[in-house]
Amino acid sequence: MTLKSNYKENVADARLLMAEWDDCQETGGQIAVADDVELEDDETAQLYEHYRLVVDKKQKMLRVDKFLLDHLSNTSRNRLQKAADAGFIMANGRPVKRSYKVKPDDIIQVMLDRPHYENKITPEDIPLNIVYEDDDLMVINKPAGMVVHPGFGNWNGTMLNAIAWHLKDMPQYDINDPEIGLVHRIDKDTSGLLVVAKTAEAKTHLGLQFFNKTTKREYNALVWGNFTEDVGRIEGNIGRDPKDRMRMAVFPPGSEAGKHAVTHYYVLERFGYTTLVKCVLETGRTHQIRAHMRHLGHPLFCDERYGGDQVLKGTNSTKYRQFIDNCFKICPRQVLHAKTLGFVHPKTGKEMLFSSELADDMALLLEKWRNYIPANI
């Protein structure tokens, strides 16, 4: 049997979400990093080989999850079964179910959606907008365009590189220790608040709050179209879109496809052809707001991945199209901001609630819509 790692292979149209063994810790049987992890949209749609095992000629037929459990360290059978369900375990180049029986000379691969990253996160002198900080945690207002965690095509210049620099004189903080650091993430092109744990105890405590849905998370989003009601609730499972694996889709509640997801929305301001809404997450799924709003017929403004970068509402006049083009240039990203974040402090037990101002590009865009309405609608 041979074992190789850090070998890369393309798999067309595949980009599945699963936590890496190397940087995930479990808390009470649950992954501590919150489920609202957003993989960056500019990552290539590939799977990368992290482990390869060639089955010995004398190997008896054995379930693939049991076989891998016998040969890999720092994992569990439950985690391996989830990997198989997600399409991450392959036999002879094809995804297999957890019940697949390995045979002599089979080539078994464990794939993930990002390269095997063996380098350490290095400190970089990058400014951070720190809203709050104490010995246990820090709350950061992330700008749009900043990648949270090093990954494919973004090994440097990330928020973690900046945090490593900011805390370089704190001897007990190791940015490469998976038991501390990020508790949740937001997408590269989403701005707003994130909490970072500076101790293992803080990460465990905060991670459980995210898992138990006791945190408070509110987002502001500009979406296409007008709403008939001022308040609404969207319930629908979220999972990978079978027609576009880079995108999430909404499936009927209670179905086997996707994970249960609920978003509450409140109209804040109407612009005729677009609407500013507040979204409150009852659950936290990948691209939850973006997928739910598209499903409702209101894609986020300028959201290329979900079709919001086209003129979806309004007139066919040249003047209006030029106005929209200018809007896209002012805020060339999905118009989404993580505005409010609330949680219980892991040490003091005090309720902590933070709110952030909208990013400059989003504020300018909203002002442009306010000035457009009176004269043109």
Q: Which of the residues are catalytic? A: 187
- Tokens 């990253």 belong to 117
Token digits for 291? 């997928």
Cα–Cα distance, 317 to 202 (Å, whole number): 55
Judge contact between 49 and 9, C-beta under 8 A.
yes
Judge contact between 118 and 11, C-beta under 8 A.
no
Q: How far is CA 200 from the centre of its chain?
A: 22
AA identity, residue 269: E
Judge contact between 222 and 275, C-beta under 8 A.
yes
Torsion of CA 323, 328, 331, 337, to 10 degrees: 100
Within 13 Å and on the Cβ side, how many CA atoms surround 221?
32
Cα–Cα distance, 87 to 78 (Å, whole number): 14
